[in-house]
Amino acid sequence: MADVISRALGDHYACEFARDVAQAREMLASRAFDLILCDIGAPGESAIVLGEETAKSDSDTAVVLVTETDEPAVARRAFEFGAFGYVVKPPWPGQLLMTTMNALRRLELEVAHREHSQNQDDRSQTIIDMAPMPIYAKDASGRYVLSNAKADELACVKRGEMLGQTDESIMSADGAKQSASSDRGVLADGSIYEAKEVLSVGGVSRTFKTVKFPLFDEDQRIDAVGGISADITGELEAAELREELLAAQTRAIEELKRSREETVERLTRAIDRHDSSTGEHVARMAVIAAFLATDMGFDPARVELLRAAAPMHDVGKIGTPDEILRKAGPLTAQERSIMENHALTGYEILVDSKSELLGLAATIALTHHERFDGSGYPKGLVGTEIPLEGRITAVADVFDALLSDRVYRPALPVAEAVALMEDGRGAQFDPEIVDILLDHLDHVLALREVDRAERMPLSDLPRKESDAEQDSLGRDETAAAADQTASDFRGYRSDGLRQGPARF
């Protein structure tokens, strides 16, 4: 058999031989091998045992069995423990070479897949760990399979020690019973559980705003419970306490089909609720951005990619402190600087992904605060140096923001918002995009009805029928508003921050 192996494989691979299973074990323990051929008919201890041991303990070594006779029972056992191939003696040299090449190719693909999955898991864990609230997931048996740094801190355990534990080991008996009851409800019917809970953790009673939701396996069966628990012990009087933790922030990433990636995306959208002003705003501005792109000649696939990526433009605000995001008064120069960091932070979170969607989202996150005249941030790009998707998102984002309530000001009337957009034409915004927005103002205002917009394609929403209808919006009033607000608008940056004492 050694001669056959040498003839078939010697010109292609470096081959070493062992006289028995014991020597083979010593060789495997001393150095790495890409593949082992196990002759289960050789004298002494059965080589099938060695193959099974290797397959279970060393995922970087492929196992191929060589047998005297074609026995279904042996083939079935080899398949069950993960052998990469199976040949019957005496094998043809070409057959042995093909089996070896196939086994090594399969091993190469599996190793690459493991490394890619690990990189994705590490990226996802990094994003989740940045969240300012506990995030976790439990399997059907109630054991924790995911937790972020805040969850470990809350449970009073070292980083990573929460995994594998149950509520009984970190909560009081009553708290664990209450948690198990809500978990069973989510697992049973896929419902969303929301409640304020008083739990004893580490011997201390705390009040939480808890949201639990179902997680699905690859067959779309519920197999785990995801949860986000915000400690509101000292904030029970706060009316705006993250009421929309599970509201959809984005049209989501349709490229990510596997349920595990979908689970991570749900958690990422929940983290983005850190900025409570974004809620329905990101859905509206994404629809407006998609319409503008359609009018500019984007093909349908590129429009949908922009529509899915635009809601992630402010993902970098995950690193912006609550006191700045929710501040009702003007920001100081230092606070403005911290706020402006969200563009680069969002880019760093999203960049370097192989996903086309996340790549576009990274570009938008970095450039949606650049200004057409070059006075924006973070890079001070000028005109068409700013990617087109970033210019489109900037117009859609600011226009919808002007018409939306903020913690620091109420929504502006349509006429005043239009005047501000006109004043920013060519300075803050690409003038062509502003012209499209204002030429189709009726249609854009209809698109802001997010619930309705999500139920029908862009082409089915009402479009303006005549210039006279456009005039009905009150162009005279708009022009007057422009005269009154133009000087004020020049003092505002694209994120609504002003150098003076007031903010939009």
- Cα–Cα distance for residue pair 214/223, rounded to 1 Å: 8
Residues 234, 348 within the same domain = no
Phi, psi of 287 (to 5 degrees): -65, -40
Domain span at 32: 2-125
Letter string b/e over residues 216-254, b meaning 16 or more CB atoms within 10 A of that residue's CB: eeeeeebbbbbbbbbbbeeeeeeeeebeebbbbbbbbbe
- Cα–Cα distance for residue pair 365/494, rounded to 1 Å: 13
Render pLDDT for 218-266 as a digit per residue (tens, 0 to 9).
888 898 999 888 777 766 544 444 444 445 544 444 444 343 334 334 4
Neighbours of 446 (CB within 10 A): 17
* pLDDT on residue 121: 62
Q: Which of 52, 3, 8, 43 is nearest to 23 (CA)?
A: 43
Contacts of 500 (CB under 8 A, 6+ apart): 330, 491
DSSP for residue 429: B
- Cα–Cα distance for residue pair 387/197, rounded to 1 Å: 47
Residues 291, 379 within the same domain = yes
Strands 35-39 and 193-201: unpaired
Residues 121, 153 within the same domain = no
Helices and strands counted in the chain (H then E): 20, 8
Render pLDDT for 75-84 as a digit per residue (tens, 0 to 9).
788 888 888 8
Per-residue pLDDT in tens (0 to 9) along the chain, 504 residues:
777 788 778 788 888 888 888 888 889 889 889 998 888 877 777 788 888 888 888 778 899 888 877 778 887 888 888 888 888 888 888 888 888 899 889 888 888 787 776 666 666 666 676 777 788 889 999 999 888 888 887 777 888 888 888 988 887 788 788 888 889 999 998 899 988 877 665 567 777 788 999 998 888 889 899 988 877 776 654 444 444 444 554 444 444 434 333 433 443 454 455 555 555 788 789 899 999 999 999 999 899 889 888 888 888 888 888 888 778 778 898 999 998 999 999 899 888 888 788 889 899 999 999 999 999 999 999 999 999 999 999 999 999 999 988 777 889 999 999 999 999 999 999 999 999 999 999 999 998 875 444 544 444 444 434 333 333 333 333 333 333 333 333 333 334 433 333 333
In a domain, 112, yes or no: yes
Both tokens of 65, joined, read 């069995």
* pLDDT on residue 372: 96
DSSP for residue 317: G
Residues 101, 209 within the same domain = no
Q: Which of 5, 17, 34, 2 is nearest to 95 (CA)?
A: 5
Task: Assess contact for 408 and 329: CB atoms under 8 A.
Answer: yes
In a domain, 215, yes or no: yes
Residues 64, 175 within the same domain = no
Full strand arrangement of the beta sheet holding 35-39 = 35-39, 62-67, 85-88
Which domain-ending residue is among 85, 106, 125? 125
Letter string b/e over residues 13-25, b meaning 16 or more CB atoms within 10 A of that residue's CB: eeeeebeebeebe
Render pLDDT for 305-326 as a digit per residue (tens, 0 to 9).
898 888 888 888 888 888 887 7
DSSP for residue 492: B
Residues 149, 109 within the same domain = no
Task: Assess contact for 459 and 394: CB atoms under 8 A.
Answer: no
Residues 106, 184 within the same domain = no
Strands 135-139 and 85-88: unpaired
Which domain-ending residue is among 228, 244, 260? 244
Both tokens of 204, joined, read 């201390």
CB burial class (10 A; 0-12, 13-18, 19+) of residue 406? middle
Task: Assess contact for 215 and 225: CB atoms under 8 A.
Answer: yes
* pLDDT on residue 476: 38
In a domain, 232, yes or no: yes
In a domain, 206, yes or no: yes
* pLDDT on residue 264: 35
Number of compact structural domains in the chain: 3
- Cα–Cα distance for residue pair 414/417, rounded to 1 Å: 5
Residues 107, 143 within the same domain = no
In a domain, 253, yes or no: no
Residues 313, 444 within the same domain = yes
CATH assignment at residue 91: 3.40.50.2300
- Cα–Cα distance for residue pair 223/352, rounded to 1 Å: 31
The dihedral through the CA atoms of 148, 350, 278, 307 has a sign that is: negative
- Cα–Cα distance for residue pair 444/430, rounded to 1 Å: 17
Task: Assess contact for 170 and 201: CB atoms under 8 A.
Answer: yes
DSSP string, 19-80: SSHHHHHHHHHHS--SEEEEETTSSSS-HHHHHHHHHHH-TTSEEEEEESS--HHHHHHHHH
Render pLDDT for 437-495 as a digit per residue (tens, 0 to 9).
999 999 999 988 754 445 444 444 444 343 333 333 333 333 333 333 333 333 333 34
Contacts of 9 (CB under 8 A, 6+ apart): 15, 96, 97, 100
Residues 420, 406 within the same domain = yes
* pLDDT on residue 125: 63
* pLDDT on residue 172: 79
In a domain, 258, yes or no: no
Residues 50, 179 within the same domain = no
Which domain-ending residue is among 244, 268, 289? 244
* pLDDT on residue 374: 96
**What is the identity of the amino acid at 297?**
G
**Residue positions annotated with a catalytic role:** 317
* pLDDT on residue 202: 59
Residues 410, 482 within the same domain = yes
